[in-house]
């Protein structure tokens, strides 16, 4: 049913039932008043983009030109708080000097901010709950090295089919292929050792974020008090429900297999997955428990698949735009394999400082989010300098602009693949702060403080394994005359261009034999 059909059917209904119409009108007015009274009052700060008077046009402008609006605000009010109008309401953009205090303030919630912006009750996407987060940190992160052999096999099995074996230059759209590759690897960590071969699950987790984001965007055209009434009639609703239903079925089957092996006394394949540990802690197969697991999986998919595939693709775009780095990076992979007996273990991956620097620089200039350290005030907050943040206020930091600011990074707007390698060598004692997985105040792509992304350690392994495999087996460059592919922006999100190809060719066997490395 379309929105117009829904509207006309409701009009016919209330026209024939005056008493009902009066009651609905009364409830609607009361809801509007309550909704307006509950809205947070915007603090007295400069507002950027408010020269566009129509609120709908202003929000639409932010949706499609957020980088321009935030950069304009940053240039005008770099050391001050300013506001931007978004589909989620006015958000306050805080200057860099507040990073430490904001990251530690318990009254400002990262998870609540994501839940609110992504409409978790409708989309199942939002901030990871403590249950899922603690499981990932405690059970998965310490065991990440144990996943590497399986990751290696999955990469060997998938990348050749995705990139082909043509020894002539061939155009390839990288982003969709890297998205699926990350869906396959993440399925092993999140579900079990069979999930990487479960096409319906891979399709669900790689496509669901787009469906959920579109659904949330449609819902935001409606006031919050109307969403429970209209959400079933929106175009994406049926698709979302089918996807969630498929997801529940797959998770139920996986949990049944866990239980069956446990009852038979059979050992669970190691390393064990997020779902395995969560299902042991929250036993049962009721709808509510399966639904809880599904929400956890969808939220893990946002970071584990979509964020990582974005950084991976942006890294490959930088490689195709700067082919002068290929020989040194390739040689580092060759030398590392020789040093570690042909195996890219966790220690071996850690030893590839040039590749680590290259990926960190690609992430610096192409963070998947325009802003980070998003927070929502769960109560009134007064900062140490007297800045008052009313309950319900949303705030964030302009990561896109900070990463391009020469006050924080020399020659900040230009790509330097070995920038962080040089920083490591400048001061060996503090070299760790320049590692790719390091979350710092001047590098906010991973967030900062206690809410810094825990999945960065998994992403580090996945990206390095894939890029190393590509370096050993393929040449890559841009089409003649083509510069670096521009990213696609929508609201706060930054995507690699999904439709612009790079040129790929398979390295002939005689050249790969000369590497004398074996295969990863």
- Sign for the CA dihedral angle at 468, 471, 472, 476 comes to positive
Pairing of strands 394-397, 89-93: parallel
Residue 407 CA to residue 214 CA, distance in Å, equals: 37
List of residues 6+ apart from 27 with CB closer than 8 A = none
453 is in an annotated binding site: yes
User: Can you point out the beta strands (E) in 143-301?
Assistant: 170-172
**What one-character DSSP code corresponds to residue 519?**
-
Helix H, strand E, coil C: the string for 125-141 is CCCCCHHHHHHHHHHHH
Residue 285 CA to residue 274 CA, distance in Å, equals: 16
Phi and psi, residue 425, nearest 5° = -75, -25
Q: Considering only CA atoms, which of 82, 270, 136 is closest in space to residue 193? A: 270
Q: What does the DSSP assignment read for 157-179?
A: HHHHHHH---SS-EEE-HHHHHH
Strand, helix or coil for residue 389:
strand
User: Can you point out the beta strands (E) in 340-467?
Assistant: 372-377, 381-382, 388-389, 394-397
Q: Considering only CA atoms, which of 312, 262, 280, 283 is closest in space to residue 159? A: 312
The CA-atom distances, in angstroms, between 316 and each of 35, 179, 346, 477 are 47, 13, 21, 9
What token pair was written down for 73? 């605000």
Q: Are 348 and 340 in contact (CB under 8 A)?
A: yes
What token pair was written down for 180? 């699926």
Residue 55 CA to residue 384 CA, distance in Å, equals: 33
Binding positions for heme: 453
Binding positions: 453
């Amino acid at each position: 049913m379309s929105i117009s059909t829904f509207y006309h059917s409701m009009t016919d209904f209330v026209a024939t039932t005056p008493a009902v119409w009066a009651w609905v009108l009364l409830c609607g007015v009361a809801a509007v008043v309550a909704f307006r009274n509950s809205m947070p009052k915007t603090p007295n700060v400069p507002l950027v983009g408010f020269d566009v008077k129509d609120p709908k046009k202003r929000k639409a402008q932010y949706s499609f030109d957020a980088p321009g609006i935030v950069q304009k605000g940053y240039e005008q009010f770099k050391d001050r708080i300013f506001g931007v109008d978004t589909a989620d309401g006015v958000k306050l953009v805080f200057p860099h000097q507040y990073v430490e205090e904001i990251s530690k303030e318990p009254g400002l919630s990262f998870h609540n901010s994501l839940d609110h912006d992504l409409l978790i009750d409708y989309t199942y996407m939002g901030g990871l709950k403590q249950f899922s987060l603690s499981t990932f940190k405690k059970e998965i992160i310490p065991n990440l090295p144990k996943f590497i052999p399986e990751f290696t096999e999955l990469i060997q099995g998938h990348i050749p089919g995705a990139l082909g074996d043509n020894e002539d230059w061939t155009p390839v759209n990288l982003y969709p292929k890297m998205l699926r590759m990350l869906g396959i690897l993440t399925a092993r960590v999140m579900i079990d050792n069979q999930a990487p071969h479960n096409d319906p699950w891979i399709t669900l987790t790689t496509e669901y974020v787009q469906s959920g984001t579109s659904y949330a965007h449609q819902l935001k055209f409606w006031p919050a008090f109307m969403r429970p009434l209209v959400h079933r009639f929106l175009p994406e609703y049926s698709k979302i429900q089918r996807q969630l239903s498929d997801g529940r079925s797959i998770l139920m089957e996986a949990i049944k297999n866990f239980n069956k092996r446990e009852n038979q006394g059979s050992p669970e394949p190691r390393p064990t997955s997020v779902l395995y540990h969560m299902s042991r802690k929250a036993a049962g197969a009721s709808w509510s428990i399966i639904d809880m697991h599904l929400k956890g999986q969808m939220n893990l998919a946002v970071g584990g698949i979509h964020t990582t595939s974005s950084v991976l693709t942006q890294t490959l775009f930088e490689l195709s735009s700067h082919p002068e780095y290929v020989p040194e990076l390739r040689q580092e992979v060759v030398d590392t394999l020789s040093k570690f007996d042909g195996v890219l273990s966790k220690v071996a991956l850690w030893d590839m400082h040039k590749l680590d620097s290259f990926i960190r620089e690609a992430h610096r200039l192409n963070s998947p989010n325009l802003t980070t350290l998003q927070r929502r005030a769960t109560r009134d907050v007064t900062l140490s300098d007297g800045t008052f943040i009313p309950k319900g206020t949303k705030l964030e930091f302009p990561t896109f602009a900070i990463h391009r600011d020469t006050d924080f990074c020399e020659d900040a707007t230009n790509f330097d693949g070995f920038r962080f390698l040089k920083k490591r060598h400048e001061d060996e004692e503090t070299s760790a702060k320049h590692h790719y997985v390091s979350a710092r105040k001047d590098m906010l792509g991973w967030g900062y403080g206690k809410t810094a992304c825990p999945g960065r350690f998994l992403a580090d392994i996945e990206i390095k394994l894939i890029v190393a495999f590509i370096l050993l087996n393929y040449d890559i460059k841009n089409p003649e005359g083509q510069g670096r592919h521009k990213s696609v922006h929508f609201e706060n999100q930054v995507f690699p261009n999904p439709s612009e190809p790079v040129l790929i060719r398979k390295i002939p066997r005689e050249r790969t034999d000369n590497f004398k490395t074996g295969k990863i």
